[in-house]
Structure 1
Amino acid sequence: MPANCVASANPAASTDTTAWEAELILGFSQRGAKTALVNRSHRGPLTVQRPFYPEGGVCHVYLLHPPGGVVAGDHLTISAMVENDAQALITTPAAGKFYRSGGGEAQQSVNLKVAENASLEWLPQETIVYEGARLNSSMNIDLAERAHFIGWEILALGRPAAGEGFENGAATLNWRISHTGRLVYLERLRLDAEAFQARWGLFGHSACGTLFVYPASSSQLAAVQELIGEEANRGVTLIEGLLICRGLDLRADLLKGFFERVWGLVRGDVVGKAVCAPRIWAT
């Protein structure tokens, strides 16, 4: 997920001497045959590229954070509003990074609002939480009666390829999803060194993630269940029209690949279009 930071020659050992705040506000509106990015305001080193239209009317936007990561004390806020009938897809060009903390906490808040007959796809690349990092992340989703939403969050604890586990640090993840002003889903998940190793937690799996789809049906639930089959560390459920899919893996890219397959199963019904992967994912 996108983030801003103080650059450091050795980011994994960044100190908490300077903190940055960044805020980005996006607004999408239907203009003729396509969705336009009509509001784009920011404070601090957080912005977006110009919109892309690889599939016609859907507005694809890439969040940019030039410094490359977050250190303790930083606070990032992203807000996006998709107006009636508009269709937007938001992603990132690279993994977000939260660097080791000297004791303080980095905060990230994402607020998404989807109006009537509008769709929003929130598909950031994975967030890497370095060993010793402390992250507090909140996702607030506000859906209108006939809104459409697909979103995921993929977390990678430590850097297994570099021989780094997650012996200390913590990530607190908060999800709040409302439909027509009524709370339909609330979750608070805290991952620390104990949860990383415990059988009741991640059991040593460095990557974990959750994917949400609204509105979803029992047929879509069955399709995802068939996709999962006997594969371990995958699960899906349906609660009041909200599809919730979870996964654990030893590699974040494998978990993202699984979520992309689920996205391929549900997007036609939810957004009305076949999958069109953002070009930035292939670079």
Structure 2
Amino acid sequence: MRPDFAASSNPDSITDSSTWEAELNLGFTQRGDKTVLVRREHRGPLTVQRPFYPEGEVCHVYLLHPPGGVVAGDHLTIVATVENDAQALITTPAAGKFYRSGGGEAQQTVNLKVAENASLEWLPQETIVYEGAQLNSSMNIDLAEHGRFIGWEILALGRPAAGEGFDSGAATLNWRISRIGRLVYMERLRLDAEAFQARWGLFGHSACGTLFVYPASSLHLAAVQELIGDEANRGVTLIEGLLICRGLDSRADLLKGFFERVWGLVRGDIVGKEVCAPRIWAT
């Protein structure tokens, strides 16, 4: 068995000699006055804790990856389907970690499907990409006509607190958002050592992220613009009802805090509830 990477004192020493493929398939259904996790199928080291209901009917689920980190050759696949009228929130108990690669690539694929009058909030904690790592991440969101979605991706390149930058390695991020089978948004972003330092890229900021909200309006756009004000390295736009908010920062926790404030502005209209932060975030 591969060692527990979370406990490793020297992650740079991890090799690619033992790799895993892991799959997780989740299904959420509305039953009575709450959403129930009716499907929880997994293969390999990827699973979830029992659901939590800190705000009543919304089902909160925490994704677990027991190894604590991902190395080259690993491939994680997550599928979640939220059926009609159901409401689910998915997060993680800690940051994801992608370790230095000896040349191979680690892959993560997430496929999310949101049915009529259902809502899904995809709010993982940040992903740390160690110097020298090779990550290929794909996010595919399929929305019904009246499906609702709030989701973010927060990336931390290197470990500035440990004096590590991002002089080698690369993270390729792919997003596809479709509504009623029609592609609404597609993005492919590649971050490497050049993009990390360049003015046209991250300009040395170790944390970057994107938040998506659907369906959004010009009122949501104006509210987020007011929240940003004159703050540097923040931006927001609205494309065909899709709100796209971006940020750069020196620390991932500061960027997450900004995204949480945006979440607080829009959640009441999108999900119909005030913000209820997963309690795992406070531990």
Q: TM-score, normalised by structure 2?
A: 0.97
The one-character-per-residue Cα deviations of 1:4-56 (angstroms, maximum 9, x if unpaired) are x7545432231111110000000000000000000000000110000000000
* Higher mean C-alpha deviation, range 75-84 or range 11-20: 11-20
Secondary structure of the 2:94 match is coil
May I ask how many residue pairs the two structures share in their alignment? 279
Alignment partner, residue 272 of structure 1:
272
Contact 2:225–2:236 (Cα < 8 Å) also in 1: yes
Alignment partner, residue 252 of structure 2:
252
The one-character-per-residue Cα deviations of 1:224-268 (angstroms, maximum 9, x if unpaired) are 000000000000000000000000000000000000000000000
Alignment partner, residue 64 of structure 1:
64
Aligned pairs (5 A) from 1:14-33? 14-33=14-33
Are residues 1:95 and 2:95 paired? yes
Alignment partner, residue 143 of structure 1:
143
Q: Distance in 2 between matches of 1:7 and 1:276?
A: 31
Q: Distance in 1 between matches of 2:46 and 2:260?
A: 26
Q: Distance in 1 between matches of 2:261 and 2:214?
A: 17
Alignment partner, residue 175 of structure 1:
175
Secondary structure of the 2:264 match is helix
Query: Which amino acid in structure 1 is aligned with residue 239 of structure 2?
Result: I
Contact 1:6–1:71 (Cα < 8 Å) also in 2: no
Q: Distance in 2 between matches of 1:74 and 1:46?
A: 12
State percent identity of aligned pairs: 87
Are residues 1:55 and 2:55 paired? yes
Runs of 4+ in 1 over 2 A off after TM superposition: 5-13
Contact 1:6–1:18 (Cα < 8 Å) also in 2: no
Contact 2:158–2:164 (Cα < 8 Å) also in 1: yes
**Which runs of no fewer than 5 residues in structure 2 stay unpaired?**
none
Contact 1:13–1:99 (Cα < 8 Å) also in 2: no
Secondary structure of the 2:161 match is helix
Aligned pairs (5 A) from 1:1-283? 7-8=4-5, 9=8, 10-283=10-283
Secondary structure of the 2:212 match is strand
Contact 1:6–1:20 (Cα < 8 Å) also in 2: no
The one-character-per-residue Cα deviations of 1:178-215 (angstroms, maximum 9, x if unpaired) are 00000000000000000000000000000000000000
Q: Distance in 1 between matches of 2:36 and 2:58?
A: 9
Q: Distance in 1 between matches of 2:267 and 2:207?
A: 24
Contact 2:4–2:66 (Cα < 8 Å) also in 1: no
Q: Distance in 2 between matches of 1:7 and 1:90?
A: 23
Query: Which amino acid in structure 2 is aligned with residue 282 of structure 1?
Result: A
Contact 1:6–1:70 (Cα < 8 Å) also in 2: no
Secondary structure of the 1:196 match is helix
Q: TM-score, normalised by structure 1?
A: 0.97
Q: Distance in 2 between matches of 1:201 and 1:260?
A: 24
